Every structure is written in C-alpha cells, then in structure tokens.
A and B are shown apart, each in its own frame.
Chain A
Amino acid sequence: MIGKSDRALKTASRVNGAVGILPKPPNLIYGVNDRPPILFTLFMGFQHVCFYAISLSFPVIIVRAIGGTDAQATFMISMSMIAGGIGAIIMALPKGPVGSGYLCPPVCSPTNLAAALTASKFGGLSLLYGMTLISGVSETIFSRLVNKLRVLFPPEITGLIVAMVGITVIRVACLNFLGLDQVGTPIEPKVLIVSFSTLAVIVGLNIWGKGKLGLFCVLVGMVLGYILSYVLGLMSSTDIAAVSGAGLVWFPFLYHPGWSFSLSLVIPYLIVMVCSAVKTVGDITTCQKINNAKWTRPDMKNIGKGILADGLSDVASGLLGGTGQSTSSSNVGLTIATKTTSRVVAYATGGLLIIIAFIPKVSSLFAIMPKPVMGASLIFAISFMIVSGIQIMTSRMLDTRKIIVIGVSIIFGIMVDLMPEAFANLPTWISPVFSSSLSTAAITAICLNLIFRIGIAKSQTIELEPKVDSSEKIFNFMEKAGASWGARKEIINQAASAINEFFESATGLNIVKGKIKTEVSFDEFNLDVNITYDGTLMEFPVNRPSADELMADERAFTRLSAFLINSRVDKIKSSAKDGHCHLQLHFDH
C-alpha cells in the first residue's frame, strides 16, 4: 500500500445501532440529544399528546361496532393512552436493547382496525386484547430478525415506505377535513370554515410565527379549531355532556375483561404485525434522516430496536386492554415541522399520556375532537412525511427497474385508497395486506425489489483504450452501473472521476501497454474499483504540488493528477508482478 486516506465523517448510528453523537442538521432547533427548557418540553409534549388524541377515534369505532358501552370505550381509550405513553418512553431510550432513541411515539394504529373489528365481533374485547398481545409478542420476535432482512429495505424502498406512511393517511385526513363519514355526503360550509381556518393558523404560525409561537402552531391551531367548532355548533350536546359528565380522576384497571385467543386469527394478526413493523421502518428511517446531517442509509440495527419498542407497546396495550399501537407518522411529521426532535420531549409525551389516562375529563375532551380539526392537523403533519419519503427515494440513482418498483408500488397502494370497496370481501387472513395503501405498496415494493434483483451483477467490467476513449465512456458506464445498484450519485461520481484521472495520467505518462481493464463491484457499504493493465506502476504522492511548482513546470500536473486520485478514494492499493499492474481503489459507501 502506498497511499491511504480515510473520510472522517462516520456517524455513530452506523457503528452500533445506538443514537450517539450525530451531526445535527442546522434546521433543527432542539436535536435528539438536546434538552429544551422544562416548560417548553411540557408544552411540546402536550402538542404531541394532541396528535396522539387523533388516533383515539379507533378504540371508539371498535367499541361502537360491537355495541359496547361508553364505559368500555373510555376504558379502552385510557388503556391505549397508557400503552402509548409506555411506548413513547421506551422508544426514546438511547441505550440498551430496546428503543431507537428517537421521538417517535406509537399511537392507536389504523393498520390494526380491520383485524381488531373482526376479533372484537368474533370473541368480544377479551379476544381483541388477547390477539393484540400475540401481535405484540410476534413483533418483538420479528424485531430481532430485521437486521438480517436489510436486503429487503434498500433506501429507495424505505423512502417509498416513508412517503406511503403519509399517503396512506390522506383519505382519512381529507374525509375529516371535509367533515365527512363517507364520500358522497354533502359538505357543510361551516365545516370548511373550521378546517381551513385551523389549517391556515397552523401553517401561518409555522411559517411566519415569531419565537416559540411557530413551534406550537398545531396546539394553537387545534385550540382555535375547537373554539370555532363550538361557536359554529359542530360539537353536539352529547359531546359536551360527555366532557362535563366525565369524572376528574379514575382508576381504569378494574374494568379489564380478561384475555382470550383464537388460532384462526393468528395469520391476520401476523400480517398486521408485519405491516406495523414496516410502518415503523419508515418512521424511524425518517427520524434517523432528520437527526443526522450526514445521513446516507437506514441503520437497520437501530430500526430493529425501535421495532422492539413498538412491539412492546403493543404487548402493553394487549395486557392493559388497549388497541394495537404503531409508531405515528403524524407525530414524526410534527417533529419536522416544529424543528424539535429532542427525546426529552418523548419522555414528556409519554408521561403526559399516562397521567391523562387517569383524568377522564381531559381524555374525553380529546375523544370528541371535531373532524375538521383532526383533518387540518393531519394534512399539515403528513405533508412533511411525504416529502421526506420522496427525498430518501431520490437520494439514490434509479434505473428502470427501480423506477418500476417505486411507480407500480405507489399505484397499487393508491388503488386501495381509491377503491376500498374492491377489496372489501377478501378472506380475513389476507385483508390486512389490503387494509391500507401503505401495506399494499410496501409489500408490493419488497416483492418486486426481490424479483428485480435477479440479473443485476454485483460487479461490472469495462475496457478502456488509451488515446481512443474519453471520460464520456467512463461516466456513462459508472452511471449505468450505479443506477442498477441504487448507489449514491456522489460516490459514483467520485469513482468515475478517479478512474478518468488515472486513465488520463496513465495515457499521458505512457505507462500502459494495451488496454486498461476496470472492474467495479458494489455492496451497500463498499464500492471497489480494480484496475489491471500491463506496463509500469503509477505513484501516488501524499502531498499536493504547490502552486509555484504547477506554474513553473507542467510536469507537476502528473503529480497533481495522482494526488487528485488519492484524495478521492478512501483506500488505495497498488502492486505489480512481471509487468502486470493492479490498482485497487476503495470508496466507502
């Protein structure tokens, strides 16, 4: 070895799956490791609780579907909040085997809804709790396998999942925004007044809000939405009676109906678990990206720890008597919008959720959240998720195969949202796959990606003829190979530049007899270039020729060329035997 240089910037997350010292993006006010002031933390935590509250409609839907009582609904809301609180806290743990270390709280999952309705209708709430427990336990087991399944989740697929995590909420968000239960019913003008006013306040404060006001835009917007809804008569007397009649404190554990299990529901719940885990992959990938200015790829070990936390929050929900929990893309979107990703806020969110679970007066206020307020808040939050997903997808070079994987998967996913009735009568065991555009798109993408891997060579070769070929041939070859591998464009450009620089210097120095054979091989972490030729070895100086040397002597450019190659690579090795030379250029990817 005659030259070696290492890039200094490597993130801690890549090394051990723990969130260590990451280069904080300049757009964040409070990064994941920062500690905001206590009052700020509590208000921000409460803002996240407000987003959690949007998902509390799911336990209400389930209990109403089986003709359950208000007490059962209130019980399930409280238990879901406690499970969500536990989940938010353990998800944010920065060390140990559990938790991604990020502010990424779980909420009542819409992915679970179809299976939860089936379970509760088939065997009552005890069966729902039992199967949620099974789903949680299976997710904790699945979390241990995720790191080995990294081949399923290249960046373009995780980017797609992140985008779909947002896209899948569009239908629910828009129905709520327009105050509709289903498409086709008339839209009330006063609903539009509330929804547009709420959205305008949230967006306006977020963009133009001075000081801390902009960071609490959602909280302010929601409060205004509640007031407007009350003034315009969008909150029924039943809603108001539910809040005024709710007790100040209660101890909900006494209402638990126990657990039961059904073998026939194991497969649907396993599919729910996979869908939930895939969503967690997307959410935690986003957290990694927004907290690391030098983010390049998902850290699957860290994601595995996050899925374990997600599974444990499901276990807690099953044990306590809540609905299935899954990480909240809306809350992650909120962290981007408020530029605050501190894990201390996650602890505050978790703590507040657990405390409020024992205060029915407050939890019932969340339970009657007006639809246009929910819709406006969701639309605001998911915008960030969708754009974040697109950014992750386009961070890699995309060839025709990858474009088809992404395009077809998005179309299949959106098809489920556009025509839900077409998938309404599927067998129970497969219905979770088509329960949301996210699960359909993610599973389509993973399957297509595996199929399209067939025929992609891990290494590709090009022969270059001195004094005949140009940089165009080298760059075209590298761009085509890089796109088929889904490599990062900047690394492919560096490698192409280094190859071209060698080619030009070797040609200029007349050190090559015949053609230069270049073999390039790739895996997610390494890009290696092996150049073989007959002739004389090239030398790679560690020091750059000075400006005076370059001005005085044109031959100094040969040294500059070799220096440029050396500075482009992470490692360089060269050897020669019987006039046969071998040059190995390594690039960290």
Chain B
Amino acid sequence: MEIRENKSGNVDIVYLVGRLDAYAANDVEKKINAATEKTPACLVVGMERLEYISSSGLRVLLAALKKVRKQQGDIRLTGLQPYVKEVFDISGFTQLFKMFEKEDDAIKSFSVSG
C-alpha cells in the first residue's frame, strides 16, 4: 500500500495506491488523521489507483468522516475503480460519501459548498 499527499489551496489530498486491507489500515489512518487536524478539514481521497478495500479500510474512512463532519469539514472521494465502487455500493457507503470522477471537481466542490 502506497500513500501520497498533496495540497490544493485549503484542500488536502491523500492518494491511496494498491490494496487497503487491515495491514495497511493503520498507516492510512495516521495519514488521514494528520491531514484532518485543522478545522474545518477539507480532504479529498484519490482512489484512482486503489485496487481493493476491505471492511478495515472502510472503517478507517468512516471514522475519519465522523471526525471531520463534527468539525463542519468533509471528506470527498475521487476516481473509484469499479471493484472498489462495488464494495462501497454493497456496504452502503455510497450514500455516506460524496464521490467525484475527477479530482478537480472534488476540490472545486469545497469552494461551492463553502
């Protein structure tokens, strides 16, 4: 599992590459926590190259979402591959997260929603 970071204005971006399983979940959790320390946190998670996500990966994302929404922030997801999207659909996470095909659209959505 490879995790990369970037920033666009006040929006933090975390890219997930490979498989997000229980083994990788701790590292991802740390990175996302670091990226959501400021208030309100605006985080985009780039999933273009995420091949697989297990329930442990979903747990990390949901825990982060709960945290940032309490602080009036949000987490938005981009580029979900069909297999990962299917996991989100089956688990009901599609309703919890705002999803975008392109990273630019996700970043712009923060400025629109304020």
Chain A residues packing against B (C-beta within 8 Å): 470-472, 475, 490, 493, 497, 500-501, 504-505, 507-508, 544, 546-547, 550-551, 554, 557, 560-561, 563-564, 567
Find chain B residues with CB under 8 A from A504 CB.
21-22, 54-56
Find chain B residues with CB under 8 A from A472 CB.
19, 23
- Give the number of A-B contacts (CB < 8 Å): 65
Residue contact B91 to A471, C-beta cutoff 8 Å:
no
CB closest residue in chain A, given B22 = A504
Find chain A residues with CB under 8 A from B93 CB.
547
Known contacts A547-B96, A564-B87: A471-B54 contact under CB 8 Å: yes
Stretch at the interface among B29-37, B38-46, B58-66, B105-113: B58-66
Q: Is B114 part of the contact surface with A, judged by Cβ < 8 Å?
A: no
Residue contact B83 to A560, C-beta cutoff 8 Å:
no
Q: Is B6 part of the contact surface with A, judged by Cβ < 8 Å?
A: no
Chain B residues packing against A (C-beta within 8 Å): 19, 21-24, 52, 54-56, 58-59, 62-63, 66, 83, 87, 90-93, 95-96
User: With the chains together, A547 CA to B66 CA distance in Å?
Assistant: 12
User: With the chains together, A507 CA to B22 CA distance in Å?
Assistant: 10
Among A470, A546, A564, contact of B55 (Cβ-Cβ < 8 Å): A564
CB closest residue in chain A, given B59 = A557
User: With the chains together, A505 CA to B63 CA distance in Å?
Assistant: 18
User: With the chains together, A470 CA to B21 CA distance in Å?
Assistant: 8
Find chain A residues with CB under 8 A from B24 CB.
470
Dominant secondary structure at the B interface: helix
Find chain B residues with CB under 8 A from A501 CB.
54-55
The 24 sampled A-B contact pairs (Cβ below 8 Å) are: A470-B21, A472-B23, A493-B52, A497-B52, A500-B21, A500-B52, A500-B54, A501-B55, A504-B22, A504-B54, A504-B55, A504-B56, A508-B22, A547-B95, A550-B92, A551-B62, A554-B59, A557-B56, A557-B59, A560-B55, A561-B55, A563-B91, A564-B54, A567-B90
Find chain A residues with CB under 8 A from B55 CB.
501, 504-505, 557, 560-561, 564
User: With the chains together, A28 CA to B7 CA distance in Å?
Assistant: 45
Residue contact B58 to A557, C-beta cutoff 8 Å:
yes
Instruction: A470-B23, A471-B22, A544-B92 given; name 17 further pairs at CB < 8 Å.
Output: A471-B21, A471-B52, A475-B52, A497-B54, A497-B87, A505-B55, A547-B92, A547-B93, A547-B95, A547-B96, A550-B92, A557-B56, A560-B58, A560-B91, A561-B54, A563-B90, A564-B91
Find chain A residues with CB under 8 A from B63 CB.
554
B77 smallest CB distance to A (angstroms): 15
B88 smallest CB distance to A (angstroms): 11
User: With the chains together, A220 CA to B33 CA distance in Å?
Assistant: 65
B49 smallest CB distance to A (angstroms): 15
Residue contact B90 to A550, C-beta cutoff 8 Å:
no
B61 smallest CB distance to A (angstroms): 11
User: With the chains together, A546 CA to B93 CA distance in Å?
Assistant: 10
Find chain A residues with CB under 8 A from B59 CB.
554, 557
Known contacts A504-B54, A564-B87: A471-B92 contact under CB 8 Å: no
Find chain B residues with CB under 8 A from A554 CB.
59, 63
A300 smallest CB distance to B (angstroms): 30
CB closest residue in chain A, given B55 = A561
A8 smallest CB distance to B (angstroms): 15
CB closest residue in chain A, given B56 = A504
B21, B62, B90 — most chain A CB neighbours (10 Å):
B21
CB closest residue in chain B, given A559 = B55
Find chain B residues with CB under 8 A from A560 CB.
55, 58, 91
User: With the chains together, A504 CA to B21 CA distance in Å?
Assistant: 8
User: With the chains together, A202 CA to B42 CA distance in Å?
Assistant: 54
CB closest residue in chain B, given A507 = B22
User: With the chains together, A493 CA to B92 CA distance in Å?
Assistant: 20
Among A470, A508, A550, A563, contact of B62 (Cβ-Cβ < 8 Å): A550
Find chain A residues with CB under 8 A from B62 CB.
550-551
User: With the chains together, A560 CA to B66 CA distance in Å?
Assistant: 17
User: With the chains together, A564 CA to B83 CA distance in Å?
Assistant: 13
Residue contact A475 to B90, C-beta cutoff 8 Å:
no
A557 smallest CB distance to B (angstroms): 5
Residue contact A471 to B23, C-beta cutoff 8 Å:
yes
Find chain B residues with CB under 8 A from A561 CB.
54-55
B57 smallest CB distance to A (angstroms): 10
B33 smallest CB distance to A (angstroms): 15
A434 smallest CB distance to B (angstroms): 44
Find chain A residues with CB under 8 A from B66 CB.
551
B112 smallest CB distance to A (angstroms): 24
CB closest residue in chain B, given A566 = B90
B82 smallest CB distance to A (angstroms): 9
User: With the chains together, A508 CA to B26 CA distance in Å?
Assistant: 14
User: With the chains together, A294 CA to B22 CA distance in Å?
Assistant: 33
A7 smallest CB distance to B (angstroms): 13
Find chain A residues with CB under 8 A from B21 CB.
470-471, 500, 504
CB closest residue in chain B, given A503 = B22
User: With the chains together, A554 CA to B58 CA distance in Å?
Assistant: 11
Find chain B residues with CB under 8 A from A500 CB.
21, 52, 54
Find chain A residues with CB under 8 A from B52 CB.
471, 475, 493, 497, 500
Sorted from nearest, which 10 A-B pairs have the closest CB atoms? A470-B23, A471-B21, A561-B55, A504-B22, A557-B59, A567-B90, A560-B55, A471-B19, A557-B55, A504-B56
B39 smallest CB distance to A (angstroms): 20
